[in-house]
Amino acid sequence: MLLEEKLKELGKEVVWVKYHLTDIQGHLREVSVRKDAISEEGYTTTDGSSVFGKIILPTESDMIIIPDVNTLMVLPWQKDTARVICDAYHSPKSEDEQPEPFLGCPRSILSSVEKSIDKELTEKVSKLYEKEPKKFHAHFAPELEFILIDEKYPYESIHKDERLNNKNYFVPPKQKVDNFLKQVIDALSITNMKREKYHTEVTTYQCEIGIGHGNAKKVADANVTLKYIIKTLAEMNGMHASFIPKFKQGVNGSGMHVHQNLAVTFDDGEHNLFYNKSSKDGLSQIGSNYIAGLLEHAEEITAITNPLPISYKRLVPGCEAPTYIAWDWQNRTALCRGHSPNTKKIRVEYRAPDPTCNPYLAFAAMLSAGLEGIEKNIELPAPSKRDFYHDNEGVKELPGNLGNALELMNKSEMLRKRLGNFVVDTLYTLGSATYKDYSSQISDRDIELFF
């Protein structure tokens, strides 16, 4: 369906359309167009060198962003305005040419990885179930943690606030916060996703909102939208929301645990490919290989799931963030946590990511690691009930800083094969520049400790 037709369905009240896309680092970009100025093709133009940085030559920077009309939704707080999520393309050189996909478009990269599931699993699943699969699904469900403070709070000094503690988990929120969280959940309806619960998190001022499981790209769209909603409504309510992964020593940071599994649709309905009632704990061979792939490639994907220098101040033992590459059922100190054993809801929770990541690329990286595990038939080690915060001898760790994580990502044959050289090279270049600048800065703590 063309954008023009979809807009007619929304009614005359809608006057503006916000075209949304993310750059490679996950920042939301927006251009607003009056409905009566939208071209027949429905797309709009942008300067690629400004949106995506110096990775696009200024001599080749004309780009177009093409909307996915299925994401067109009216903004609940602005009834004359709709938003639509887009993919980035190079401008065609003539009217006869089709636009060429931009290799650095995060949403398109996730689409490509999702499509590869058919190639990876069709033959295997056909033999296993003795029937023809209709469609494969990568189901993801993230839990976003964030800090919510009053706009008058001196956030520049939050790292020095002695009132912050780890006693906030499931504490009833104050009325203003509760009203805000309800607004966010209601506004999330524009994604057509199942709306999950909200609650206060472990640390003072910390909240969590989950997104119901769904196909990876649709959930990544919802993830981007949820962050947009939280930021916008916080400002409208006289509050400030931040997704910073770590904000004070000794208290829990903000993560984004991601639940995931693979599924297949046959004529008789959908089946969870992680479930096999005949297997130990109900975990199928496909599910076992997938988790093994996540563990095998965890170090390589960390620069994508945890993209900022400060991300690694969260990944330290003792504050409910995983650092040791292991798995278990229900063990919160392990990187991967199995859920719902012996049920059709069986899945894995990958606990390293934080909410500053680009969800399209983070989901693509995790999915790629899991698919690699299936393709290579990587054996899953036995689950471990060790408390890895205190008992971790001989266990591999995630990278300790962004610099190490970027080097591991840059050398990853798996990521280059599945995401492409362009995006790996670009993330390495941009991330290295950020890390170099961060590492050269002098902080209050540096002077306090070393002067």
CATH (domain of 317): 3.30.590.10
Looking only at the bridges linking them, the beta strands covering 336-339 and 327-329 are parallel
Q: Calculate what percentage of the chain has a pLDDT beyond 90.
A: 77
What confidence category does residue 59 fall into, taking pLDDT thresholds of 50, 70 and 90?
A: very low
> Residue 114 carries which DSSP code?
H
pLDDT at 1 over 60: no
CA dist 252 and 268 (Å) reads 45
- Confidence at residue 61, expressed as pLDDT on a 0 to 100 scale: 61
Same domain, 336 and 322: yes
CA dist 413 and 431 (Å) reads 19
Is 43 among the domain residues?
A: yes
Q: What are phi and psi of 445, to 5 degrees?
A: -65, -35
Residues 6+ apart with CB under 8 A from 223: 142, 144, 211, 359
pLDDT at 412 over 80: yes
- Residues 116-149 as b/e (b if ≥16 CB within 10 A, e otherwise) read bbeebbeeebeebeeeebeebbbbbbbbbbbbbb
Domain count, the chain: 2
What is the mean pLDDT of the segment spanning 73-92? 92
- Confidence at residue 195, expressed as pLDDT on a 0 to 100 scale: 64
- Tell which residue, 442, 260, 288, 282, has the closest CA to residue 374: 288
Is 274 among the domain residues?
A: yes
Same domain, 86 and 214: no
Is 450 among the domain residues?
A: no
Q: What are phi and psi of 355, to 5 degrees?
A: -75, 0
Same domain, 242 and 375: yes
Q: Determine the number of helices (DSSP H) and then strands (DSSP E) in the chain.
A: 12, 17
What confidence category does residue 55 fall into, taking pLDDT thresholds of 50, 70 and 90?
A: low
Same domain, 353 and 404: yes
CA dist 257 and 196 (Å) reads 14
State which of 102, 127, 158 marks the end of a domain.
Answer: 102
- Confidence at residue 94, expressed as pLDDT on a 0 to 100 scale: 72
Same domain, 70 and 157: no
Domain that holds residue 47: 3-102
What is the mean pLDDT of the segment spanning 113-136? 94
CA dist 294 and 92 (Å) reads 38
Is 448 among the domain residues?
A: no
What is the mean pLDDT of the segment spanning 390-417? 96
CA dist 70 and 329 (Å) reads 37
Is 451 among the domain residues?
A: no
Is 449 among the domain residues?
A: no
What is the mean pLDDT of the segment spanning 123-150? 95
